[in-house]
Amino acid sequence: MRVQVAIIGAGPAGLLLGQLLHRAGIDGVILESRSQEYVLARIRAGVLESGTVALLERAGVASRLRAEGLIHAGFDLAFGGRRLRIDLEGLAGKSVTVYGQTEVTKDLMEARAAAGAPAFYEARDVAVHAFDSEKPWVSFNSSQKIACDFIAGCDGFHGVCRASVPAEKLKLFEKNYSFGWLGILSDTPPVSEELIYVSHERGFALCSQRSRTRSRYYLQCPLSEQVDEWPDERFWAELRRRLPGDAAAQLVTGPSIEKSIAPLRSFVAEPLRFGRLFLAGDAGHIVPPTGAKGLNLAASDVHYLAEALKNYYQTGSMEELETYSSRSLARVWKAERFSWWMTKLLHKFPEEGGFGRRMQLAELEYIAGSRAAQAALAENYVGLPY
Ligand code: FAD
Ligand code: DHB
């Protein structure tokens, strides 16, 4: 088999790249190690920047998103028992859309199937070869080989693409946090129309949602704790303690339909291009989830990469492909900074003691009293321009 672009990974990055290339008449194949059902069952991000929505529109996969996505013009920061609304629309002129990553993935999978474009799920032993030459190729399922012009490494943090790059060619920047997010999904109405990010003495909490009847809640928890130590009753009781009184009074509880703990990590690999291998999305960088940037960064990488590949096939010039890494990383580092800052502002860091907590509260009070500070927060939250 021979294709123009071999895409490793069928997460949002790989599927969106596949769709954008298909629409540009560039042929590709997607190799995914998991089953389609497994990929669809992973509950992850839920907030799309307006730039991501626009990109999904351009990819021709936004009809359900337009019908079912919830447009949020603001969100609340809760601290010291009060709620401060950040008016995204008024401060930054843009809103965000609440639409689950699982739904984005489903729409992209359906579009790929409808286009008859090839994708191999449950591909075993995917390996990338000769990407520092003009003739890269990939292998899988012990004997299958695909020759290609380029390889897109969209295989997430634990994928094979970044791991195949010689260590001396990679510079890694990493920060691990000592806590995770325990998340639950439940078929209960959200506690509030908009999201609430809570900074509390007992730890961070987030009230999010997937629809008017489905809620997604998160609690900061120590990494040492396991999901089975958190029966639903314990989760709801802890969430209620961290919420401001008016929100706690509105909370509707019910059985969880998913529960998991995600570690928090900041990570960037530099560069994102090695000859004819390009890293996009979590394969190249991870942000802690606090700013809701992970999926949106995967989308912006894919935008830059798809445009550069289209330019190559139209003009034969490698120039845009050669600058993919620096252009993408410029946006990535700004989102890394914002996600790190929001994580630091809102979570409990016991090692920082009483002084650290006072600094957080002073900064939150400053934000509450300064339109300029709110505007900076809003501008980053809705997404910096591509
Ligand atoms: P992924 O979604 O990880 O997709 C990579 C794909 O590659 C996977 O399907 C994987 O199975 C496949 N793959 C891996 N190795 C191979 C291989 N060797 N061969 C073939 N295929 C392979 N972001 C937020 O904004 N908010 C959140 O609440 C949030 N929660 C998260 C919770 C968890 C547990 C995780 C892991 C991430 C979360 N994120 C969140 C981040 C967000 O989901 C990611 O940034 C987003 O999924 C990135 O998309 P991607 O396509 O780059 O990577
Ligand atoms: C969700 C996740 C986030 O990381 C975030 O900042 C907001 C919402 C969510 O899963 O709904």
**pLDDT class for 83, splitting at 50, 70, 90?**
very high
The pick from 88, 204, 218, 338 for probing ligand 2's pocket by mutation, whose C-beta has the most ligand atoms within 8 angstroms, reads 218
Q: What is the pLDDT of residues 220-229, one digit of tens each?
A: 999 999 999 9
Contact 40, 100 (CB under 8 A): no
Among 161, 227, 171, 197, which Cα is nearest to 77's?
197
Torsions phi, psi of 275, nearest 5? 60, -115
Instruction: Return all residues near 260 (Cβ < 8 A) that are at least 6 apart.
Output: 43, 182, 183, 227
Q: Which amino acid is at 310?
A: K
Can you give the pTM of this predicted structure?
0.97
Q: What is the pLDDT of residues 2-20, one digit of tens each?
A: 999 999 999 999 999 999 9
Q: Is 196 in the pocket of ligand 2 (CB under 6 A)?
A: no
How many whole angstroms from 247 Cα to the centroid of ligand 1? 31
Q: Is 45 in the pocket of ligand 2 (CB under 6 A)?
A: yes
CA dist list (Å): 156 to 9, 77, 243, 352: 7, 30, 33, 32
Contact 288, 266 (CB under 8 A): yes
What pLDDT does residue 220 have? 98
The pick from 17, 31, 295 for probing ligand 1's pocket by mutation, whose C-beta has the most ligand atoms within 8 angstroms, reads 295
Which residues are annotated as catalytic? 72, 197, 289, 293, 381
Q: What is the pLDDT of residues 230-255, one digit of tens each?
A: 999 999 999 999 999 999 999 999 99
Query: Residue 93: is it exposed, middle or buried by C-beta count within 10 angstroms (0-12/13-18/19+)?
Result: exposed
Q: Is 46 in the pocket of ligand 2 (CB under 6 A)?
A: yes
Instruction: Return all residues near 106 (Cβ < 8 A) that are at least 6 apart.
Output: 40
What pLDDT does residue 81 have? 87
Q: Is 216 in the pocket of ligand 2 (CB under 6 A)?
A: yes
Q: In what order do the strands lie in the sheet with 127-129?
A: 127-129, 137-140, 144-147
Taking the C-alpha atoms of residue 114 and residue 350, their distance in angstroms, rounded to an integer, is: 52
- As for ligand 1, residues whose beta carbon falls within 6 Å of it are 8-14, 31-34, 39, 44-45, 101, 123, 126, 154-156, 158-160, 262, 281-282, 289, 292-295, 298
If you search the block for the tokens 């900041």, which residue do you land on? 266
Ligand number nearest CA of 217 is 2
Q: For residue 7, what are the β-bridge partners? A: 30, 152
Q: Which amino acid is at 260?
A: S
